Amino acid sequence: MSVIRCNNINYRKGYIEIEPEIHKGYVNLEVTQIHPDVDIADTRLGDGKLSDEAFIGNTEIELNLEEAKNLIELLKNAIDKTEVGSPN
């Protein structure tokens, strides 16, 4: 499993988990939101440092390969626009 800690915007912090093949032929994408008052700077998801109350949201979806590739392209486009400061 790959995990990205997102700790930049206080009220939108949390973790993104990516796991292949939980269901054959699909990529699992899970986003967990953490309460703004909880410091996650030195935590890793699953390390036992976060209480149940720290977790305020969770969404988990399965992407087929076409959807996963589309997500990659959309993220690349968003990165390109963000790097040059283009409006949406």
Residue-wise pLDDT tens digits, 3-55:
999 999 999 999 999 999 999 999 999 999 999 999 999 999 889 899 999 99
Q: What is the pTM of this model?
A: 0.87
Number of domains in the chain: 1
pLDDT range class, residue 85, cuts 50, 70, 90? confident
CB 15 within 8 A of CB 32: yes
Residue 48: CATH number of its domain: 3.10.450
- State the pLDDT at residue 87: 62
Q: Per-residue pLDDT averaged across 58-74, rounded? A: 98
State the DSSP string of 40-76: -TT--TTSS-S-GGGEEEEEEEEEEHHHHHHHHHHHH
- Domain region containing 70: 2-84
**Residue count (the chain):** 88
